[in-house]
């Protein structure tokens, strides 16, 4: 929808194939994602997993955020939360559910804050290119850096209960905060 010809340095689907194929691939992959969750061996997990993914992907999450992003008056915080962070949140909730963790909400919060940190850094890296929707372009790189650091700290705080077992999840926060491209 941003009509970029490249995605992570490779030709975007709608350029390499065509628009119809790109749309259909998205539709097919969405159905395949729900299908994969429905094949979870522990059947009691299927409904909560589907609900987590539907919330992160649908009108309350990524799709809703993209729609708000198309509107002239879309709020940058709401866009970041829905379009980016809701799917991070769903991802970590799904991992927590699959692992049988009793702390699904806390691990979901970790994902949400990680997603907000990711988007803040993304805006800093893209500050020169984009406009209206870019927090760093709107409020300056220094404020965006402060924001990224706060979200990263909140992500780590959400998984404090893991103690030493949270090392890898904290490492992901540091990786996201320090990425340069």
Task: Tell me which of 7, 11, 16, 23 binds a copy of itself, using CB under 8 A.
Answer: 23
Question: What residues contact 173, with CB distance under 8 A and at least 6 apart?
Answer: 114, 117, 152, 155, 156
Q: Interaction with a copy of itself in 65-94: which residues (CB under 8 A)?
A: 66-67, 70
Q: Which is closer to a copy of itself, CB of 87 or CB of 169?
A: 87
Closest by Cα among 97, 98, 101, 88 to 165: 101
Binding mask 111-150 for a copy of itself (x = CB under 8 A): ----------------------------------------
Report how far residue 90's alpha carbon sits from residue 107's, in angstroms, rounded to the nearest whole number: 10
The least CB distance from residue 49 to a copy of itself, in Å, is 8
Closest by Cα among 128, 98, 113 to 160: 113
Residue 5 is a binding residue for a copy of itself (CB under 8 A): no
* Region for 140 from its dihedrals, namely left if φ exceeds 0, alpha if ψ lies in -120 to 50, beta otherwise: left
Task: Tell me which of 12, 15, 30, 98 binds a copy of itself, using CB under 8 A.
Answer: 30
SS3 6: strand
Q: Please list the residues that pair with 10 across neighbouring strands.
A: 7
Give contact residues for a copy of itself (rule: CB under 8 A): 1, 20-21, 23-24, 26-28, 30-32, 34-35, 37-40, 43-44, 46-47, 50-51, 53-55, 57-59, 63-64, 66-67, 70
């Amino acid at each position: 929808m941003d009509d970029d010809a490249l995605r992570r340095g490779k030709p975007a689907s709608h350029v390499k194939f065509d628009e119809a194929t790109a749309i259909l691939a998205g539709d097919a992959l969405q159905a395949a994602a729900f299908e994969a969750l429905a094949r979870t061996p522990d059947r009691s997990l299927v409904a909560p997993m589907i609900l987590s993914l539907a919330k992160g992907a649908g009108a309350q999450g990524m799709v809703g955020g993209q729609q708000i992003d198309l509107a002239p008056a879309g709020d940058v915080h709401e866009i970041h939360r829905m379009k980016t962070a809701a799917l991070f949140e769903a991802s970590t909730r799904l991992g927590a559910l699959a692992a049988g963790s009793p702390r699904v909400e806390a691990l979901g919060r970790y994902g949400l804050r990680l997603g907000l940190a990711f988007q803040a850094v993304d805006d800093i890296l893209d500050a020169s290119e984009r406009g209206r929707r870019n927090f760093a372009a709107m409020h300056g790189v220094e404020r965006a850096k402060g924001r990224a650091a706060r979200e990263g700290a909140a992500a780590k705080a959400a998984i404090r209960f893991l103690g030493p077992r949270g090392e890898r999840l904290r490492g992901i926060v540091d990786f996201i905060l320090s990425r340069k491209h």
